[in-house]
Structure 1
Amino acid sequence: MKLNSLLLLATCALLVDVSQAGVTYEQMRSASKLIRDVCLPKYPKVTEEVADAIQVGNIPYSKDSNCYINCILEMMQSIKKGKFQLDATIKQMEIMLPDSYKEDYRRGIQLCKDSTVGLKNAPNCDPAHALLSCLKSNIKDFVFP
């Protein structure tokens, strides 16, 4: 729990000065690295190479990779107990993405808002995989921690 609080503070500190003007690509990647560094150690079967592949949209289907994705989406407040959090996702997108990404992400988020409906989170974190796969398919400049 202490690590999550530190991550939130670090992310807020990183974004405070740019919240008025939008974040830069480098600032977005720095915040993403903080999130990734929290989730990656929790899933030792997800290697750096697998995480790098997910980051660019090559999304494997396995319990470990799905639950790694779920961890990141939960930290980003996009998913909670397997349920997509539309309003929180839009709010985070507005904070965490450079302005040039926002219109495409707004459209993709709306197209994917029902992608987790009817899916069970346990045991394989299927909603996270479905949501990220949908976003990847519907967002031209896909980015992920």
Structure 2
Amino acid sequence: RFRRGVRELFVCVFKPECPFRERRQRQLLGITQEQLETTAKTFRQVCQPKFQIPDAVADDVKRGIFAETKEFKCYISCLLDIMQVARKGKVNYEKSLKQIDTVLPDAIKPAFRAGLEACKDVGRGIKDHCEASSILLQCFYKNNPMYMFP
């Protein structure tokens, strides 16, 4: 219940009709790197047990080490879906741009925009959404010097 509630609140703040939107937007404008990492950990707690990914393997992603197992690739897909960066391995381009502009600190926005632009089509034509998500994340890693991931 808690995990679903966190996701619903996160999704809500990006919808115009959300009752928390105005207050939440004011809070998000000053979001820090530490706050981003705390939020990312919450998302990780949803997906990691679902696919039985050990902490060491999940931590390797931050250093650009990507496991080649189906479970790991589906874990990546789960996280990208929760963050609304992608849906089933396909980039949510407009939502991602909106999140970059709304949520991220100004100092890292250009790097995230560049990564999104470079990778927006990388998953097209790949039928396995877990595989597409893994390829997408690896592209983000290569094309975003400020890369971070739960």
TM tier relative to shorter chain: 0.7 to 0.9
More helix by share: 2
Name structure 2 gaps, 5 residues minimum: 14-19
Checking the alignment, whether the CA contact within 8 Å between 1:7 and 1:34 is kept in structure 2 is no
Scaled by the length of structure 2, the TM-score of the pair is 0.83
Rounded Cα–Cα distance in structure 1 between residues aligned with 2:135 and 2:72? 12
Partner of 1:53: 60
Secondary structure at 1:60's aligned position in 2?
Answer: coil
2:133 corresponds to which of 128, 131, 138: 128
Checking the alignment, whether the CA contact within 8 Å between 1:35 and 1:75 is kept in structure 2 is yes
Percent of aligned positions with the same letter in both sequences? 33
Matched, 1:140 2:148: no
Partner of 1:18: 27
Deviating 4+ runs (over 4 angstroms): 10-13
Partner of 1:30: 38
Matches within 5 A, 1:36-115: 36-44=44-52, 46-115=53-122
Rounded Cα–Cα distance in structure 1 between residues aligned with 2:76 and 2:126? 15
Q: Deviations over 1:39-85 (max 9, x none)?
A: 111011x1000000113321222101100000000001111123221
Scaled by the length of structure 1, the TM-score of the pair is 0.85
Checking the alignment, whether the CA contact within 8 Å between 2:89 and 2:136 is kept in structure 1 is no
Q: Deviations over 1:74-109 (max 9, x none)?
A: 001111123221111122233442221110110110
Secondary structure at 2:27's aligned position in 1?
Answer: coil
Name structure 1 gaps, 5 residues minimum: none
Q: Which has the higher contact order (CA 8 A, sep 6+)?
A: 1
